[in-house]
Amino acid sequence: LKMENQLRRALEDGQLEVFYQPRLNVAEDRLDAAEALVRWRHPQKGLIAPGFFIPLAEETGLIIPLGEFVLRQACKQARQWQLEGVAEIRVSVNLSVKQLRQGNFVSLVRQVLEETGLPADRLELELTESQLLDDIDNAINISRQLRALGVKLAIDDFGTGYSSLSYLKRFPVDFVKIDRSFISELDQVGEDSAIVRAIIAMVHSLELKVVAEGVETQAQMDFLKAHGCDEMQGYLISRPVPVDEFVKLLV
Ligand code: G
Ligand code: G
Ligand code: MN
Ligand code: NA
């Protein structure tokens, strides 16, 4: 069977599963958000990481139903945590620009929120810098509508694209996630610590929150805390984990 058909079938047969990676809110000293990251539990090959099938999904258009599955699953899950009183957790879902180009993306989000009962501010949507720049006018227009619903927005992988103050200013978002390539270099003193400090200052000057991705060491965390980074995500806190393991991180 072609990989494309296998993926389509995986979606229909429930082989796709959402893992969650927590985000630490520094000021509140608690896990306040979880990034939803899809995995493929292949009957023969085991767990497949999204790097192997998201590009194919993007090419074939399967990203539309796949993205809808992840969005609905993550919203259901966050609503369940809320009802069970587990914790106050916002879920953050990665989007493909193809989803934004669907005419009805905003109504889909509204519908999923209604259907699951999740308050809009418990949902965050992530778009990468390069995808935003691909079609900036449409992205700005849709982002405005999503924010009008009360949904939070994040720019993912920040620093890998154009990263200018002027586009950040035009773009209606709540969070900027610094790409992990900058964080991994933080242990060596030099250029990247200057870049990370500059990004934090730039994001704060626009009164947005800054999230560091890929935090793996205590030294990185200490540096980021000392420079006012608002939230952190990375293996030091936890890897992305299945939902039953995620709940254990909260107690
Ligand atoms: O989980 P992992 O680090 O292997 O993810 C690899 C990449 O796959 C990341 O860039 C992540 O944003 C992307 N990804 C994971 N889940 C989704 C998803 O549900 N939708 C989209 N569009 N991308 C995803
Ligand atoms: O592109 P995006 O930011 O959505 O990708 C998130 C990806 O980063 C996931 O695939 C996740 O597994 C990975 N990731 C999360 N934390 C760390 C980390 O501390 N180190 C590394 N190397 N990867 C991480
Ligand atoms: Mn992301
Ligand atoms: Na990222």
Give pLDDT tens digits for 151-197. 999 999 999 887 778 888 888 899 999 999 999 988 776 677 899 99
Atom of ligand 2 nearest to the CA of 216: 19
pLDDT confidence of 107, banded at 50, 70, 90? Answer: very high
Specify the pLDDT at position 161.
Answer: 81
Contact assessment for residue 178 and residue 210, using Cβ atoms and an 8 Å cutoff: yes
CA pair distance 160, 120, nearest whole angstrom: 29
Query: How many CB atoms within 10 Å of residue 195?
Result: 16
| Domain CATH number, residue 31 | 3.20.20.450
Specify the pLDDT at position 168.
Answer: 87
Radius of gyration of the chain (CA): 18
Contact assessment for residue 146 and residue 106, using Cβ atoms and an 8 Å cutoff: yes
Structural domains in the chain (count)? 1
Specify the pLDDT at position 12.
Answer: 96
Atom of ligand 1 nearest to the CA of 66: 19
Give pLDDT tens digits for 132-152. 888 888 999 999 999 999 999
CA of 1 to the centre of ligand 4 (A): 32
Name the residue range of residue 237's domain: 3-250
Which residues are paired to 232 by β-bridges? 24, 212
Torsion of CA 160, 163, 169, 174, to 10 degrees: 30
Give pLDDT tens digits for 71-95. 999 999 999 999 998 888 999 999 9
CA pair distance 34, 21, nearest whole angstrom: 5
Task: Tell me the backbone φ, ψ of residue 218, rounded to 5 degrees.
Answer: -65, -35
Cα separation values, 184 from 129, 177, 216, Å: 19, 14, 8
Specify the pLDDT at position 189.
Answer: 67
Residue 180 Cβ contacting ligand 2 at under 6 Å: yes
CA of 134 to the centre of ligand 1 (A): 19
